[in-house]
Structure 1
Amino acid sequence: MREIVYTGFMSLDGVVDSPGGAVEGHRSGGWVFQDIEFVPEAWTIKGEELEETTALMFGGRSYEAFAAVWPGSADHVAYKDLPKYVVSSSLSEDALVDGWGPQTVLRSTEEVAALKEGEGGAIFVHGSAELARRLSEAGLIDRYHLLVFPVLLGAGKSLFSREDNDKRTLTLRSSEAYKNGILKLIYDVN
């Protein structure tokens, strides 16, 4: 069975959208790169994740945002040939970007569950807050890799559902605090 790992940047109040820009339309877009001192060691998590990543997964809107930048980005060249799964009920196969490795559109949470049951390594979900909530509610997220930023945004998409779902416990796998206030938190879902 494959693991599904959510990785993302999160504000202290749980917002995960618009870390690099104002694409979601709220006033705090771009918050990851604003007002917080750059500390290189806080970003080592991305290299660690890459060693473990065998495929990427996105929701439809996140796919469109990443596909507009990552295929030609020197910073993301290691992701180029990895398989990508896009979970969307509306994105057409024609909308997939050429030259960005094998790409498959999955139409439902059930198709994600079937993929997870197959052989292979870890699938990392980047961005995609709505997808992450649906996968969590279906019990399909195995691990969270979070960089938590010392900022309260007050607006934006939350990683975690506010619905009346069953309680889930997490086990801290590793953590680290950086001098700029960012926390690295890696949790296994029990």
Structure 2
Amino acid sequence: MSKVILYIAVSIDGYIADDRGAVDWISEQDENAKMEDTFTPFFSGVDTVIMGRKTYNQIVTELSPGQWSYEGATTYVLTRHGETDNAENIRFKNMDVYRLIEASKQESEGKDIWICGGAEVARQLISSNMIDTYHLAVIPVLLGNGIRLFGTTDRKIKLEMVGTKEYNGIIEMVYSRRNI
């Protein structure tokens, strides 16, 4: 069965974007230090990507304009606007994220579902305890304000450590939901 994975970069103080909505702070590490590619092995296990419209717009206008970074997977963009502009592997959906997750699990070829962003999508799934794996890349920066990853929730969610990795000041932490 496909897992729902939140794979995301976060500042030490819990933000996924600064007060302008920008994420350029993620790549402001030591240019001379060795960076480790943890994304490629992660993405090889994914066949579905889910994101909000703001995240999609940021990807196509700022992060990788002219080239779609997630070829090989079907991307669903959650939007409150009409379901238009569908491309071959990019589908715009005006639907409940929970229903989309359940439909994606049925359509999946057994690979995982990546929650790429944004905060609103992630928070809904976190508060409903629908995230199976939290893969957080903690970037060594304090932003002070911006868009928080974690909001408040009515439940305690217990996790167990799967692994950690450190490189260039970044600490990647992987936790899975404990089934108690």
Q: How do 1:1-190 residues align onto structure 2 when only pairs under 5 Å count?
A: 1-18=1-18, 25=20, 30-34=24-28, 36-38=29-31, 39-42=33-36, 44-68=37-61, 70=64, 72-73=66-67, 76=69, 79-88=70-79, 90-96=80-86, 98-99=87-88, 101-115=89-103, 117-120=105-108, 121-163=111-153, 165-178=154-167, 180-190=168-178
Identity %: 24
1:146-188 deviation per Cα after TM superposition (whole angstroms, max 9, x unaligned): 110111111111111134x21111111110122x311011111
Give, as a single letter, the amino acid of the residue that structure 1 aligns with 2:20: G
Asked if the contact 1:3/1:116 (under 8 Å) is kept, the reply is: no
Q: CA RMSD in A?
A: 2.4
- Structure 1 unmatched ranges of 5 or more: 19-23
Asked if the contact 1:2/1:119 (under 8 Å) is kept, the reply is: no
Instruction: Provide the rounded CA distance (Å) in 1 between the counterparts of 2:77 and 2:44.
Output: 21
CA displacement at 1:41 relative to structure 2: 3.4
- Structure 2 unmatched ranges of 5 or more: none
CA displacement at 1:144 relative to structure 2: 1.3
CA displacement at 1:58 relative to structure 2: 0.3
Query: TM-score, normalization: structure 1?
Result: 0.79
Instruction: Provide the rounded CA distance (Å) in 2 between the counterparts of 1:94 and 1:124.
Output: 22
Instruction: Provide the rounded CA distance (Å) in 2 between the counterparts of 1:104 and 1:40.
Output: 37
More strand as a share of residues: 2
Distance change in 2, residues 1:51/1:92 (3 Å): same
Instruction: Provide the rounded CA distance (Å) in 2 between the counterparts of 1:33 and 1:151.
Output: 11
Aligned position for 1:21: none
Query: TM-score, normalization: structure 2?
Result: 0.83
Asked if the contact 1:60/1:91 (under 8 Å) is kept, the reply is: no
Give the length in aligned residue pairs. Answer: 174
CA displacement at 1:112 relative to structure 2: 2.8
